[in-house]
Amino acid sequence: MDLKKLGRLCPGLAALWVCALAHAGVSYTVTQRDLAAARPRQATATPYYAQDHAIRVGGLRAQRVIVFKDGAIYSIDHRARSLHVLKQARRAQPPAALHLRATDRSARVGSETCRVWEENAAGARHLEVCVVPIGQLSGGGELFDALGELCQYYGGALAALGVGFGPADPWPAFRALQSIPLRVRVFEHGRAVSETELTDIHAAAVTSALFEVPRDYKRDERILH
């Protein structure tokens, strides 16, 4: 595309096009379910927004949100006008990689059909992940980058996929598959005990204001080792 020619013919359209690129991003919902509870519990659904290397956990009007950016984690409480900052929150060294095994099963998550992979520990199924190729989703590239970015933080995999992977890093496995996990189930003693699903995924014009950290809030800063 000749941007100079486009600008001469329709400067307003060219400006909108450039602006859209500057605010490209993705929005999605992370839904977590406790499958081990004696009584059924209501699932927890949380909106997420991602742009470039910044990720926001929490809706547009949420009183408490978490922002991951610039190697730090910001927990923002708008009601109390305070925030906690964890500096140097990226892992210095990645843990061992997660190893997934293909199955012949598929499943539906939202409107998408995904393929099931498993991870075994001590001879028993520990994880079940259902993945789709990056290009199958609107905003798939942005989502893949956001999830990979989150997993580089301490506790980031828990925020990204609802699972604390302990000594294993899940992201190299998904990078090798070039796929996005739409559902992650954790098993104990052969029974699924928790489930996380990613739904409502779509490319969005995400404003950078969503990731801004208030300057006038009371701050508590700590270095995370």
The tens digit of pLDDT for each residue in 127-174 reads 999 999 999 999 999 999 999 999 989 888 888 888 888 777 888 999
Asked whether residue 66 is domain-assigned, the answer is no
Classify residue 127: in a domain, yes or no. Answer: yes
Answer whether residue 7 shows pLDDT above 80: no
Counting the structural domains of the chain, the total is 1
Q: Is residue 225 part of a domain?
A: no
For range 181-195, the mean pLDDT: 93
Q: Look at residue 154 and tell me if it is in a domain.
A: yes
Task: Kindly tell me if the per-residue pLDDT of 6 is higher than 50.
Answer: no
The reply to whether 176 falls in a domain is yes
Does 38 map to a domain? no
Residue type at position 102 = A
CA distances from 180 to 9, 23, 204 (A): 40, 22, 18
pLDDT of 81 = 96
pLDDT at 187 over 80: yes
Q: Does residue 16 carry a pLDDT above 50?
A: no
Q: Cα–chain-centroid distance for residue 134? A: 14
> 167 is in which domain, residue-wise?
96-202
Average pLDDT over every residue of 27-34:
94
pLDDT, residue 170, reads 87
> Is 158 within the bounds of a domain?
yes
Amino acid, res. 168: A
Q: Show Cβ contacts of residue 111 under 8 Å, excluding neighbours closer than 6 positions.
A: none
Average pLDDT, the chain: 85
- Per-residue pLDDT of 75-103, as tens digits, reads 999 999 999 999 989 887 766 778 899 99
Q: Enumerate the β-bridge partners of residue 32.
A: 44, 196
Q: Taking the CB of residue 219, how many other CB atoms lie within 10 A of it?
A: 13
pLDDT value at position 14?
A: 37
User: What pLDDT score does 45 carry?
Assistant: 95
In a domain, 181, yes or no: yes
Q: Region 46-60: what's the mean pLDDT?
A: 94
CA–CA dist 2, 5 (Å, integer):
5
Residue 224 has a pLDDT of 58
pTM listed for this prediction: 0.83
